[in-house]
Chains A and B, each alone.
Chain A
Amino acid sequence: MEGWDPNTKSTLTKIPLLTTKAGPRDGAAWTQRLKDEYKALITYTQMNKSNDNDWFRISAANPEGTRWTGKCWYVHNLLKYEFDLQFDIPVTYPSTAPELELPELDGKTHKMYRGGKICLTVHFKPLWAKNCPRFGIAHALCLGLAPWLAAEVPILVDSGMIKHKDDAASSAGS
């Protein structure tokens, strides 16, 4: 795992790996995969909470579990910046990772593709490809979104592209 910080590495290894290789068009196998996804997400969320590093909320937005919505946040200079998070499970999942979107930041940073899809590091896709089908949503958040927020939020704040909302800090807090 070249190119990753030790923290991300050690967190990643504690998230349960998935075993079912199935996408949203695979019927019963997808249901099995969804169960794996939930188990990994539950473990990861619990782990974050116990490490005092709670940083996202995510839930399936439809019964099929193909669209997910939630929130993620990052603390910079003791202030909490929170963003809507959304993504679709692609039809070729898990061969390809979900493309994580932060729609509120669309157009505010170069590290983003059209529609608010975050621009992942050169290390993400190779690692995902190598680990198919063992990585799931929880791994994508840990390897993709967490490092992105850590790198980009300070830049966005310092350049004045985003402002802190005082009232947003308390409402969805940990």
Chain B
Amino acid sequence: MEVELKEMLEDLEALKRTLSDPSHHDSIAKLQQHVERISDLAKSVPSRRSKVQDMSAEVVDSNPYSRLMALQRMGIVENYERIREFSVAIVGIGGVGSVAAEMLTRCGIGRLLLYDYDKVELANMNRLFFRPEQSGMTKTDAAVQTLSDINPDVVLESYTLNITTVKGFETFMESLRNQNFRPRNGDGGVDLVLSCVDNYEARMVVNQACNELNQIWMESGVSEDAVSGHIQLLVPGETACFACVPPLIVASGVDERTLKRDGVCAASLPTTMGVVAGLLVQNTLKFLLKFGQVSPYLGYNALKDYFPTMEMKPNLQCSNAACLERQKEYILTKPARDAAAAKAKMEMEASSATEIPIHADNEWNISVDDSYDIEKTDLTSSSDALPEGLTRELPSADEFQILPVPEETSTSIDDLEELRRQLEALNAD
């Protein structure tokens, strides 16, 4: 189109020159102005940007990564471009997940895996990201549509499935193991899983998958009253898993007895969800690009603007078998990990010593004291160890003793087919 318009301008110019009668010049000039305006309009018509081979730090209007690469120049991030090597799986493309996906896409993440079984509805329009004209599309397809327009460099995979069903879970596990994007040493095919689902059941499923795959993941949640939320880092074997202790929620400070739940399941606010998505992706970037401190748990109370933090140790009596296996592995590898950490610390102190002369008393002080670590809260021993403003969403399971299975002496039927027939007989009348 641009070429055509340019030719038209040239033709008009030629016509102007050949016309001897100057009375026509005005109308030709008018025509030329129109064509010029049309060419300007044509330039602003949306066009898909092409893929970028390398992330450049060059500050020009056409470089989508210049401001991000500036993080490297400023010394905040050591190597920003590594972001293109990372794969992140986002489970649940709702109010939090879709915004997290957009943030990571704009940051130039290498690959995103998106999971959801739901469709976009007009009732979702109080949230960010999805557009009214996408109503009826699956959330995963609509997300891919928007995200690939924003940044065609990101490899997007969409999985329209329910991870809580047996079949959905198998596909979910398989997709997390797939190493096609980038071969790696470990078992997993992704660097991080982000849980952005809106219910306890689905969180427990993400927990199950990540414990089995030894996959680091982050949990996020917004309360059903829309005025509090949290993010949590879960490292299988090292931190509490989602089943280790009943889930922690941020108390909204609203008296439960005055909270009216009649007639509604849940409220939602784009602000709270946007804040939580921002906290989640910030923690993700810090984790992937190794800068700053990665929060183990960060709560958000919107009514009081209060942000509690804490750390949680795994529960030695966790009901999740895969969690117990990861805990065992973690303890077995502890000596090697401690030695490596001590060595790294020595090296770091040695190198800093050459730069800044330290006090003579400290010259040989190479203690591997971990006192800078936040004291981990042992939630299994005392239930009242929670920081102010945090509460448990659910009680722990009661002490459950497995009763000795009675010998096959009773008259009770123990054949599955027979039991099925009995129920069907009852169902028939």
Contact = CB atoms under 8 A, between A and B. Distances in A.
A134 B403 CA distance: 11
Interface string A28-42: 000100110011011
Judged by DSSP, the binding face of B is loop
B290 to A, nearest CB: 32
Contacts of B332: none
Interface in B358-415: 394-398, 400, 402-403, 405, 412, 414
B261 A95 contact: no
B423 A38 contact: yes
Interface in A127-162: 129-134
Contacts of A45: 423, 426-427
Contacts of A113: 199, 265
A35 B414 contact: yes
A116 interface: no
Interface in A93-142: 95-97, 99, 110-115, 119, 122, 125-126, 129-134
Contacts, number: 111
Nearest to B168: A91
Contact of A19 (B166, B200, B205, B402): B402
A52 B402 CA distance: 34
Contacts of B35: none
A59 interface: yes
A60 B265 contact: no
Contacts of B412: 39
B165 A88 contact: yes
A42 B227 CA distance: 44
B398 A125 contact: no
Nearest to A88: B165
B398 A19 contact: no
B419 A92 contact: no
A91 B394 contact: no
Given A132-B397, A134-B400, A24 B423 contact: no
A20 to B, nearest CB: 9
Contact of B204 (A96, A110, A119): A96
Interface string B111-124: 00000001001000
Given A24-B166, A90-B201, A96-B204, A42 B423 contact: yes
Contacts of B162: 88
A130 B395 contact: yes
A38 B412 CA distance: 12
A25 B427 CA distance: 27
B175 interface: no
A119 B262 CA distance: 11
B426 A49 contact: yes
Given A92-B164, A114-B118, A130-B398, A41 B416 contact: no
Interface string A74-100: 000000000000001111100111010
A11 interface: no
A46 interface: yes
Given A45-B426, A91-B165, A39 B397 contact: no
A19 B400 CA distance: 9
Contacts of A39: 412, 419
B246 A129 contact: yes
Given A90-B201, A129-B394, A111 B166 contact: no
Contacts of A24: 166
B166 A25 contact: yes
Nearest to A31: B416
Interface string B201-213: 1001101100000
A99 B346 CA distance: 54
Given A90-B164, A91-B166, A92-B208, A131 B427 contact: no
Contacts of A131: 397-398
Contacts of B261: 122
A90 B419 contact: no
A165 interface: no
A48 to B, nearest CB: 10
Contacts of B265: 110-113, 119
B46 interface: no
A57 B427 CA distance: 6
Contact of A90 (B165, B400, B420): B165
Interface in A43-58: 45-46, 49, 57-58
Nearest to A45: B426
23 contacts: A31-B416, A42-B423, A45-B426, A45-B427, A46-B426, A58-B427, A59-B423, A66-B166, A88-B164, A90-B164, A91-B208, A92-B201, A92-B204, A96-B200, A96-B201, A96-B204, A110-B264, A112-B265, A114-B121, A129-B246, A129-B394, A131-B397, A132-B400
Top 8 nearest A-B pairs (CB, nearest first) are: A38-B419, A119-B265, A92-B204, A96-B201, A90-B164, A129-B394, A91-B169, A132-B397
